[in-house]
A and B are shown apart, each in its own frame.
Chain A
Amino acid sequence: MHIRAAAGLWFRGVRRHLGNDQRQQQNTSSKMADTDKKSARDREEIIAISHLNKWFGDFHVLKDINMTVAKGEKVVVCGPSGSGKSTLIRCINRLETHQEGKIFVNGIELTNDVKRIDQVRREVGMLFQNFNLFPHMTVLENLTVSPVWIRKMPLAQARELAFQYLERVKIPDLAHKYPNQCSGGQQQRIAIARCLCMNPKVMLFDEPTSALDPEMIKEVLDVMTDLAKSGMTMICVTHEMGFARTVADRVVFMDGGEIVEENDPENFFTNPQYDRTVTFLSQVIAH
């Protein structure tokens, strides 16, 4: 793995990124100072991203992203399609490699070092739009296989844990079904349970409800709200503005690979700072 990653980097070559527009620099530097002060006092940062830049080939997807997430904080990331939301949160558990900037997760910096990537993935769970359950295993096996093989947990204990989390997402009776025999909403809840079985400190959600029918969206959002109440740190890319309003501590709005603005939900929805945010909100809410 290590060699693979290193080889990838070698061939891609190291790119130098030059120049940033004025607004952004002022914006970020003031924000950095702000968060620095805060973190010293009452925030226990679990994720810190600074000056993150990423390219796909020649395409600059993420432009100088600065962001911190405190323990127990719920952050909703929103923005138009193609703005780099998925790419950003996929960088946090190294499903994508970044070329510039630093990402710290729970104090560990993400580099090409496999050991660190491993440690970070230990702390970070991720949910996907299309669930990505393992189709050749029963639901119970889906939940137990990772604790048993990655954490070397005894099978009996892993089963117990699995049932505990299935209970929590309210589908204990599906344990012996195969994922394809479950509805989309159930599959997403199974995926949440699978993630929880690895006992993550942070959970990333990449549009967890956008492949679902309206009736199923609610059951997944309920589970996520429940999770939020239990104090889990969550970063959630979603278009569910209702969820953002009720659950999020902070809303981050991205466009064109930049963070345009971030604010607490109250201010974000009632008092957006940029015209881009206003247009986006009017579109999302009108629809």
Chain B
Amino acid sequence: MAKQWKPAPSRPSPETWTGIVGWLRINLFSSPANTLLTILGAGLLLAIIPPMVRWGVFDAVWLGDSRAVCDSSAAAGNGGACWVFVKVRLDMFLYGFYPEPERWRIDLMFTVLGFSLIPLLAPDFFRTGRSQALVGGCGVAVVFLLFGALPAVFMIGYTFAPFLFERVSLWHTPQQIQAGKRSAAATGAIGVFAVVAAVYWSVRLAGVETAALPVSLSAGVLSLCLLFFGRLGLLVWRWIFLFCVFSVFAFFMLVGGILGLPEVETHYWGGLFLTLVVAGTGMGTALPVSILLALGRRSELPVVKTLCVSFIEFVRGVPLVSVLFMASVMFPLFLPENVTFDKLLRALIGVAFFYAAYMAEVIRGGLQAIPKGQYEAAKALGWTYWKMMGLIIMPQTLRLVIPGLANNFLSLLKDTTLVAVIGLLDLLGIAKAAMADSEWLGFTKEAYVFAGVVFWIFCFGISRYSVRLEKKYHTNYQ
């Protein structure tokens, strides 16, 4: 008879250096050269950080509201920063020349955006409908308290309509699908058209004529999604709402001209607000466009492929500054005389498409890393091209290219400063304008440091967020 085999028991690993001292010894003082580097590094930090902190925090002038405070402090031999300058100009830094009584519109727009982004950017914490409803409820309360009843009504619709849409499903039974795709598509098309027309006319009848087209189009997109995708998750609906509903809302909030809101032309826009508008629309447009470009570049249709390749190669061959110049100087030459096309809009399109070309190449790199077997398995299960791309291939691709995309988002955010060349004053532009103010001459350092810190905060946020995403997906399947 064979002997019985018993696996040997596992032992704990032998003691290693642990604790803080162990860590220091391993990491900082493991060899003479390493020790020397540690000492040099510590010396360098000691030489740089204390003076910076002294200038920026301890010797700085924080209180007061005029130049006199800073001047007297400097006369007393105090070489610190004058944050009074930034404090007095803060509104300018944030809103540019946007007229003061209308600035609440910007605040409202960002409040709504903030509350709608919370569940989208941290989906792990807001998986359940209840937690999303809670955030939405908080949003409604905040909007009501700060901005009044009408905005709160919008907020209620905006946050709670996705719950409704999630429950509606036009495809209940397999029989409905069996009933024939063509007739379903025809009825669907008629339905969507009816929705668009109904919304269009009701908005017109309500007396808001300029808003009729955008609002009815976004209603059309929503009903198309309902028709084609059957049942979508709550968060997916929130993304759709962000792109279709929020964008229309934000546009009319900022531009005005309807519902008694005075129109604010875009040359009044500026400051951090403008930076965020350019960066936000840039990112929101560039990512979807870049996905399409990347798919187009890999398409087997020669026309599509050639178009995408030539667009990408053209854009990659020119600097952003010249794209912006072309958008502002050359582009109007091609338009008929009475057609005007807003300068900011042109800059937005320029930035978005410029980055779309770069991001398309990043995404294409990711697409090439997806094994052929994934496509084959999906096809064998009956997946059609767009669904397969959307649910099987793209999710994997985007996970792979998070670092590359984050890189592009960061440089997009910082390149918004280039809109200065076509005469738009973003945060940095406003800072420069503020320095040139004769009343506050000589505070360049403060202005630059402030602008730098604000940019750094946003960039660091994006960077951390991308690292978090990477970790999350890495632990899932590596």
Contacts and interface: CB of A to CB of B under 8 A. Distances in A.
Interface of A: 1, 3-4, 7-8, 93, 95, 118, 121-122, 124-126, 128, 130, 132-136, 145-146, 148-155, 178-180, 191, 194-195, 198
Given A145-B391, A155-B231, A179-B477, A128 B379 contact: no
B395 A136 contact: yes
B331 interface: no
B375 to A, nearest CB: 9
Nearest to A115: B181
A23 B90 CA distance: 91
Contact of B381 (A135, A152, A155, A194): A194
A233 to B, nearest CB: 16
A217 B392 CA distance: 28
A126 B174 contact: no
In the A-B complex, the 8 residue pairs with the closest CB atoms: A132-B377, A132-B373, A126-B380, A121-B382, A152-B171, A135-B477, A146-B381, A180-B477
B477 A3 contact: no
Given A4-B301, A178-B476, A179-B477, A135 B384 contact: no
B379 A95 contact: yes
B391 A149 contact: yes
A11 B204 CA distance: 52
A238 B395 CA distance: 33
Nearest to B380: A126
Contacts of A121: 379-382
A132 B374 contact: yes
27 contacts: A4-B299, A8-B300, A95-B376, A121-B379, A126-B377, A126-B380, A128-B373, A130-B373, A132-B377, A134-B392, A134-B396, A136-B476, A146-B382, A146-B383, A149-B387, A150-B381, A152-B171, A152-B176, A152-B177, A152-B230, A153-B174, A154-B231, A178-B476, A178-B477, A180-B477, A191-B377, A198-B381
B381 A7 contact: no
B377 A128 contact: yes
Interface in B360-405: 371, 373-374, 376-385, 387, 391-392, 395-396, 399
Tier of interface size on chain B: 20 to 34
Interface in B284-309: 299-302
Contact of A124 (B172, B176, B380, B399): B380
A136 B376 CA distance: 16
A7 B176 CA distance: 33
A160 B396 CA distance: 26
A198 B174 CA distance: 13
A180 B301 contact: no
B478 interface: yes
- The SS class assigned to the B binding surface is helix
B473 interface: yes
Given A95-B380, A150-B382, A194-B381, 18 more contacts: A4-B385, A7-B302, A95-B376, A121-B379, A121-B381, A125-B380, A126-B376, A128-B376, A132-B371, A132-B373, A134-B378, A150-B381, A150-B383, A153-B174, A154-B172, A178-B477, A179-B477, A198-B381
A88 to B, nearest CB: 15
B380 A93 contact: yes
Contacts of A126: 376-377, 380
A117 to B, nearest CB: 9
A136 B373 contact: no
Contact of B473 (A1, A93, A136, A155): A136
B171 A134 contact: no
A1 B381 contact: no
Contacts of A194: 381
B384 A1 contact: yes
Which of A149, A180, A194 lies at the interface centre, i.e. has the most chain B CB atoms within 10 A of its CB? A149
Contact of B387 (A8, A150, A178): A150
Nearest to B169: A154
Nearest to A134: B392
A149 B390 CA distance: 11
Contacts of A198: 381-382
Interface string B263-302: 0000000000000000000000000000000000001111
Contacts of B473: 136
A132 B376 contact: yes
